[in-house]
Amino acid sequence: MSSIHAAIDAAEEPGLPLTGERTVPGIAEENYWFRRHEAAYLALLPHCAGGTVLDAGCGEGYGAQLIAGTAARVLALDYDEFTAAHVARAYPDLAVLRGNLADLPVRSSSVDVVANFQVIEHLWSQEGFLAECARVLRPGGRLLVTTPNRLTFSPGRDTPLNPFHTRELAPNELAELLRGAGFRVELLAGLRHGPALRELDAANGGSIIDAQVAVAVAGTPWPADLLDAVKSVRSNDFEITGDDLDASLDLVAVAVAP
């Protein structure tokens, strides 16, 4: 069974609620967000090849399972006890840990890669977390980070729109944060819609994201054409490029530990 199929099957396991704090695979209405997150995991997988990888803030576990297809070992870490128990049941190939990202339960200089996908925006102490990443990474190890771009995710606001986010970052803010923790920024790029998704944007009044948010806020049934559009999204419908970072949807960074 492929890692992606295993992730979809695991989402059918009862008991892990869809709270809005994380995305999960296998839910039609959630497919856009799942594929958007999956696109970043797939793009950064080569950095994980053959190494020991800590997925810090693994959530449902599908991303850690993807990484397990190329890494030598994956440590899947989440703070929530119920979530960690789900990951252990759903993905038995993973080594599952429960702990706080401000105090990683991992030995110093013991991992090759820390993956932190769509998590740093949830943390109260982003600087403390990055200091912990620098501690657990071997010299020259890599920190992989994805996070919503504050400029497009919560435009014109000082506080995040998403109630689960504590601090969102613009491209320059993420770079400064990483450098301030002693990392060298090897890559800073942005994820955006590719051609097929730009067509869906045009068909949905300019933004398929806004169309989804409008349904969620109104609490009304999904229009059939919008649900079909969302279900059609695939990870390769997103592009990751270094062009015009301020206009990107998500930020994608690779940073090298001292």
- The Cα-based distances of 140 to 9, 111, 112, 217, 224 in angstroms read 36, 11, 8, 45, 49
Per residue in 195-220, pLDDT (tens digit) is 999 999 999 888 999 999 899 889 89
Indicate if the pLDDT at residue 15 is higher than 50.
Answer: no
Q: What is the mean pLDDT of the chain?
A: 91
Q: What percent of the chain has pLDDT over 90?
A: 83
Give dist(CA 38, CA 236) in Å, integer: 9
Residue 6: its pLDDT value, please? 42
Confirm if 87 and 61 have CB atoms less than 8 A apart: yes
Number of domain units in the chain: 1
CATH of the domain at 16: 3.40.50.150
Per residue in 31-61, pLDDT (tens digit) is 999 999 999 999 999 999 999 999 999 999 9
Give dist(CA 140, CA 56) in Å, integer: 18
Q: For tokens 């099957």, name the residue.
A: 9
Q: Give the HSE-up count for residue 133: Cα atoms under 13 Å, Cβ half-sphere.
A: 34
Residue 19: its pLDDT value, please? 59
pTM above 0.95, yes or no: no
Indicate if the pLDDT at residue 257 is higher than 50.
Answer: yes
User: Residue 58 belongs to what domain range?
Assistant: 3-256
